[in-house]
Amino acid sequence: MVMKFNPTFRFTLFISLLLLFGLSAYIFRIDINYFKSLLVGLPLSVAGFLYIVIYVGVTTLVWFGTIDFFRITGAIMFGPYWSTLFVWIAETANASILFHLSRDLGREFVRQKFNLKDKDLQYAKEGGGFWRVFILRINPLVPFRLMDIGFGLSKVSFRKYFWGVVLGSPLRIFWLQFVIFGIEKTILSNPQALMDYFSHNPKAFLFSVSYLGGVAVLTVAAVIVAIIKKSQGHQVTRHL
């Protein structure tokens, strides 16, 4: 007989897991040099595979600090290009895991407590879900983990979320890996290192400005389109 838990129990379990994932950062400490020693000397394919597996296993359970750790380690060990590929694969796996965790344990509770129906949840149909995911995913100010959890609670289908993640993440990840590779570990201990790096690397500065400017333009365009669609929807409702 399959046991079925009510939405309140599942939501409580979901919140407990989130708290555990957050507090685990204070329990587990990972040393960059030790992690590098595990992968140094291995063929690129083997080292990359192990990096992805460890990345997914650790960052899914320990949220704070571990992502920065793996980003820095990956950039130093594999360079900006290979580390971008490995981080992209790992973050896609993470997004899938956390999306389903949020949807399976938390969504039904939210719907019941707020008396929501499918039609009440935004971006339930057409292409809105995908484009919203894509725009947020390329924005470096939006944490991946919050997106994974938040969209798991929404009506956006996993297929749309998955492709938004797959297509929206690479440029953002590459930009971060590119900058981290140039600064290396000093990015954590010396914030001024970022300004020094850009002042001595005009191409990196121009690339960063172009990327951030493009993100800003896409974000503004998405907001304008959303406002226009909402306005048109209100006009149709009035006529009806």
Between the alpha carbon of residue 37 and those of residues 77, 101, 189, the distances in Å are 10, 33, 22
Say if residue 138's pLDDT is above 90.
yes
The answer on pLDDT for 51 being more than 70 is yes
User: Is the model more confident about 37 or about 90?
Assistant: 90
The pTM for the full model equals 0.76
> Sign (positive/negative) of CA torsion 115, 151, 21, 14?
positive
Exposed/middle/buried for residue 158 (C-beta within 10 Å: 0-12, 13-18, 19+): middle
The pLDDT score that the predictor gives to residue 89 is 97
Residue 43 DSSP one-character state: -
Q: How confident is the model at residue 200 (pLDDT cuts 50, 70, 90)?
A: confident
Instruction: Concatenate the DSSP letters of all residues of 59-75 into one string.
Output: HHH--TTHHHHHHHHHH
Q: Which residue has the higher pLDDT, 195 or 167?
A: 167
Residue 57 or 186, more confident: 57
Residue 32 near residue 72, CB atoms below 8 Å? yes
